[in-house]
Structure 1
Amino acid sequence: MATVRLDKLRKVYPNGHVGVADASFEIADGELLVLVGPSGCGKTTLLRMIAGLESISGGTLSMGDRVVNDVAPKDRDIAMVFQNYALYPHMTVAENLGFGLKLRKQDPAEIDRRVREAARTLELEHRLDSRPGALSGGQRQRVALGRALVRNPQVFLLDEPLSNLDAKLRLTMRVEIARLHRQLKATMIYVTHDQIEAMTLGQRIVVLNGGVIQQIDTPMNLYDKPANLFVAGFLGSPAMNFFRGTLQRDEGWTLSTPQGGLPLPVLPPALESWQGREIVLGVRPEDLQLQPQAERAQLSAQLEVIEPVGSEAFLNLRRGDQSLVSRLTTREMPEHGSTLHFQFVPERMHFFDASQGERIAS
C-alpha cells in the first residue's frame, strides 16, 4: 500500500471552468478517506485525476515516493471500482475476477489462487461458475470489488460503488467495504454524494463544493465543529436549523430575527465582539428540545408534519415563514397543528459569520 499526496492539484477545462481548485491533502498508508459533496462539486473529477483518467492542469500528485502526474493509469498500480460494476456478461464470476490478471500475463496458477482467495473473502465461492446475469445486485458489486481485490494494488479508488443498490443492500455493502478495509489495511479513496455513507465509512472526510475543499476532518469533528455554513448544512440528516439575525445585548443576549427575538444563554467570549452584527445561529434537530413550560422556552413553533421513523420522530415545524425540524425520541407524539415550545442545548449551539459563512470560534 502507499501514501497518496496532493499538492495544489488543479483541473481547469478548455472553457475556463475550474473543476478542482488547488486541492492539497494526504491520504495515509492504509487509510480510508471519503470525498463527499453535491453533484458537480468536483469529487469524481478529483478521483479520476488520481486514477490518471483525467489530465492534471496544475499541482503535484504523488503515490509513495513517486510523482505520477504524467504516469499512465496502468502504471500507477491502482484499482478502480465503478458505479455500474462494468462486468463482462459472457464471462463467469471467476473469469471476471481474473481477467485483469490474465491481461497482465500472470501465471495461471497464481491467477486461480488469487481468484479463490478473493471469492472466499467476499463469500462468492459458490458463484464462481455463474455469470453476472444470474447474480443479485449485491453479488455483482462484490464481484466488481473482487476484481480490484485480486490486483493487490497500492491504492483502491471507489467511485459511488453503491449508488445503484437499494437501501438494504447499500447498508450491507457499506458494512462489507468497512470490513474489507479493516482486513486488508488498504489505502482506499471513496467517492460518494451520500453523507450517511461518508460518515459511516470514512476515517476522514474531504467535503467539497464548487471544486473547492471546504473542510477535511474526522466524521464526528465535521458534525460537531463544521467549518462553515455549507458543511453545517450538508452533513447531518435532517439538516441543521439556521437562524439568521442581529446579535443584541440588553439585560441578556438576544438574536433579533425577522420571525422575532430569540433569547440566548450566556455566550462564549468569542461572541462578545459580534454585538450589533449579523450572525447565523445553527442548531441541530436533536438539540432543539421540547420544553413543556412555555415561559422557559426560547422559541415557539407550530407543528405541521410528524415523520415517525421507528425509535424516533422528526417534527416538521413552522415559525413564521421559517421551516424547522426537531428530532424527538419519545413515543408520545404531540398533535398536528399544536404550538410547541423549545429550548436549545447551550453547549451544542453553532455560530457563523452571516456574510462569509465561516464558523465563529466558540
Structure 2
Amino acid sequence: MASVQLDNLRKVYPNGVVGVAGASFEVADGELLVLVGPSGCGKSTLLRMIAGLEEISSGTLRIGDRVVNEVPPKDRDIAMVFQSYALYPHMTVAENLAFGLKLRGHDRAAIAGRVAEAAKTLELDQLLDRKPGALSGGQRQRVALGRALVRKPQVFLLDEPLSNLDAKLRMSMRVEIARLHRQLGATMVYVTHDQIEAMTLGQRIVVLKDGEIQQIDTPMALYDRPANVFVATFLGSPKMNLLRGELHDGDHGLRLHVRDGIELPLSPEESMRGALHARVGQSLTVGLRPEDMRIGGDDATLPAQVEAVEPVGNEAFVNLRCGDDEIVLRQPPSGLPNPGDRVRLSHLPARAHFFDGESGMRLG
C-alpha cells in the first residue's frame, strides 16, 4: 500500500470553469478517506485526477514516492470501483474477476489463486460460475469490488459505489467495505454525496463545495466543530438548525434578536464570551443540532409552531416553524405534540454553534 499526496491540485477546463481549486491533503498509508459534497462539487473530478482519467491542470500528485502527474492510469498501480458495476454480462463471476489479471499477463496459477482469495474474502466462492444477470445488486457490487481486490493495488479508488443500491443493501455494503478495509489495511479514497456513508465509513472526511475544500477532519470533529455554515448543515441528519439575527446585549445578557417577538437567549461558554461581546450589534448565525433543542422546560423562551411530526421508531422528528426559520427537533417517541400546536423551545447553551452572519465562518 502507499500514501497519496495532493499539493495544490487544480483542474481548470478549456472554457475556464474551475473543477477543483487547489486541493492539498495527504491520504495516509492504510487510511480510508472520504470525499463528500453535493453534486458538482468536484469530488469525482478529484478522484479521476488521482486515477489518471482526468488531466491535472497544475499542482503535484504523488502516490507513494512517485510523482504521477504524467504517469498513465495503467501504470499508477491503482484500482477503481465505479458507480456502475461495469461487469461483462457474457462472463461468469470468476471470469470477470480474472479478466484484468489476464490482460496484464499473469499466469494461470497466480490468477486462480488471487480469484479464489478475493472470492473467499467477499463471500463469492459459491457464485463463481454464475453470470452477472443471475446476481443481486449487492452481489454484483461485491464482484466489482473483487475485480479491484485481485489487482492488489497500492490504492483503491471508489466512486459512489453504493448509489445504485436500495437502502438496506447500502447499509450492508457499508459494513462490507469497512470490514474489507480493516482486513486489508488498504489505502482507500471513497467518493460519495451521502453524508451518512461519509460519517460511517471515513476515518477522515474531506468536505468539498464548488471545487474548494471546506474542511478536513474526523467525522465527529466535523460534527462537533464545523468550520462554517455549509459543513454544519451538510453533515448530520436531520441537519443543524440555524437561527439568524442581530446580537444584542442588555440586562438579561446576550440575546439573538431574530425578529420582533422572537429572541434566543445565549449563554456561551467563557471562552466564547469575548468573541461574541465584540460582535454586539452585528449579524450572527446560531446553530443548534436537533438533539440539543426540546419543547418546554424552565428556560423555554423561543416561540414556534408545530408543522409535522415524524415518528421513526425509537425516536421522532418534530418539524416546527419559528418565524421564517424551519426547526427540527429529535425527540423520544412518547408525549409528542400535534401539528398546529404553539410551543416554546429551550436549548442546551453549551452546545450552540456561532457563525459570522456575513461570511458564515465559525467563531471561536
Query: How would you bin the TM-score normalised by the shorter chain?
Result: over 0.9
| Regions of 4+ moved over 3 Å | none
Residue 351 of structure 1: aligned partner: 354
Residue 254 of structure 1: aligned partner: 255
Q: Does 1:129 align with 2:129?
A: yes
Question: What is the identity, as a one-letter code, of the residue corresponding to 1:343?
Answer: S
Structure 1, residues 311-351: CA drift from partner, whole Å, max 9, x if none? 00000101122211111024221222111221111111000
Q: Once the 2 structures are TM-superposed, how far is the Cα of residue 180 of structure 1 from its aligned partner?
A: 0.1
Question: What is the identity, as a one-letter code, of the residue corresponding to 1:316?
Answer: N
Question: What is the identity, as a one-letter code, of the residue corresponding to 2:259?
Answer: P
1:326 pairs, out of 299, 319, 329, with 329
Q: Is the 8 A contact 1:279 1:354 kept in 2?
A: yes
Q: Once the 2 structures are TM-superposed, how far is the Cα of residue 274 of structure 1 from its aligned partner?
A: 1.1
Q: How far, CA to CA, are the matches of 2:218 and 2:301 in structure 1?
A: 32
Q: How far, CA to CA, are the matches of 2:301 and 2:70 in structure 1?
A: 59
Q: How far, CA to CA, are the matches of 1:266 and 1:159 in structure 2?
A: 41
Residue 307 of structure 2: aligned partner: 304
Q: How far, CA to CA, are the matches of 2:150 and 2:361 in structure 1?
A: 44
**Worse-matched range after superposition: 241-250 or 332-341:** 332-341
Structure 1, residues 123-177: CA drift from partner, whole Å, max 9, x if none? 0100000000000000000000000000000000000000000000000000000
Residue 102 of structure 2: aligned partner: 102
Q: Once the 2 structures are TM-superposed, how far is the Cα of residue 277 of structure 1 from its aligned partner?
A: 1.0
Q: How far, CA to CA, are the matches of 2:231 and 2:323 in structure 1?
A: 26
Q: How far, CA to CA, are the matches of 1:52 and 1:121 in structure 2?
A: 28
Residue 84 of structure 1: aligned partner: 84
Say which SS state the counterpart of residue 126 (structure 2) adopts: helix
Q: Is the 8 A contact 2:306 2:319 kept in 1?
A: yes
Q: How far, CA to CA, are the matches of 2:193 and 2:335 in structure 1?
A: 34
> How many matched pairs?
359
Q: How far, CA to CA, are the matches of 2:193 and 2:363 in structure 1?
A: 27
Q: Once the 2 structures are TM-superposed, how far is the Cα of residue 63 of structure 1 from its aligned partner?
A: 0.6
Q: Is the 8 A contact 1:298 1:344 kept in 2?
A: no
Structure 1 gap ranges (5+): none
RMSD: 1.0
Q: 1:104 to 1:266 in 2, by over 3 A?
A: closer
Residue 319 of structure 2: aligned partner: 316
Q: How far, CA to CA, are the matches of 1:258 and 1:98 in structure 2?
A: 65
Structure 1, residues 231-258: CA drift from partner, whole Å, max 9, x if none? 0111111111111111110111111112
**Worse-matched range after superposition: 3-12 or 282-291:** 282-291
Q: Is the 8 A contact 2:242 2:325 kept in 1?
A: no
Residue 288 of structure 1: aligned partner: 293
Q: Does 1:278 align with 2:288?
A: no
Question: What is the identity, as a one-letter code, of the residue corresponding to 1:273?
Answer: A
Q: Once the 2 structures are TM-superposed, how far is the Cα of residue 30 of structure 1 from its aligned partner?
A: 0.1
Residue 45 of structure 2: aligned partner: 45
Question: What is the identity, as a one-letter code, of the residue corresponding to 2:314?
Answer: S
Residue 58 of structure 1: aligned partner: 58
Q: How far, CA to CA, are the matches of 1:163 and 1:115 in structure 2?
A: 26
Q: Is the 8 A contact 1:264 1:298 kept in 2?
A: no
Structure 1, residues 208-246: CA drift from partner, whole Å, max 9, x if none? 000000000000000000000110111111111111111
Q: Percent identity?
A: 68
Q: How far, CA to CA, are the matches of 1:51 and 1:20 in structure 2?
A: 15
Question: What is the identity, as a one-letter code, of the residue corresponding to 1:357?
Answer: G
Residue 139 of structure 1: aligned partner: 139
Q: Is the 8 A contact 1:291 1:341 kept in 2?
A: yes
Q: Once the 2 structures are TM-superposed, how far is the Cα of residue 266 of structure 1 from its aligned partner?
A: 4.4
Q: Does 1:35 align with 2:35?
A: yes
Residue 26 of structure 2: aligned partner: 26
Q: Is the 8 A contact 1:157 1:190 kept in 2?
A: yes
Question: What is the identity, as a one-letter code, of the residue corresponding to 2:88?
Answer: Y
Q: Once the 2 structures are TM-superposed, how far is the Cα of residue 271 of structure 1 from its aligned partner?
A: 1.5
Structure 1, residues 260-289: CA drift from partner, whole Å, max 9, x if none? 222222452322211111110001111112
Q: Once the 2 structures are TM-superposed, how far is the Cα of residue 292 of structure 1 from its aligned partner?
A: 4.1
Q: How far, CA to CA, are the matches of 1:258 and 1:164 in structure 2?
A: 44
Q: Is the 8 A contact 2:311 2:333 kept in 1?
A: no
1:124-203 equivalences in 2 (<5 Å)? 124-203=124-203
Say which SS state the counterpart of residue 62 (structure 1) adopts: strand
Q: Once the 2 structures are TM-superposed, how far is the Cα of residue 22 of structure 1 from its aligned partner?
A: 0.3
Q: How far, CA to CA, are the matches of 1:124 and 1:266 in structure 2?
A: 55
**Worse-matched range after superposition: 284-293 or 77-86:** 284-293
With normalisation by structure 2, the TM-score equals 0.97
With normalisation by structure 1, the TM-score equals 0.98
Say which SS state the counterpart of residue 126 (structure 1) adopts: coil
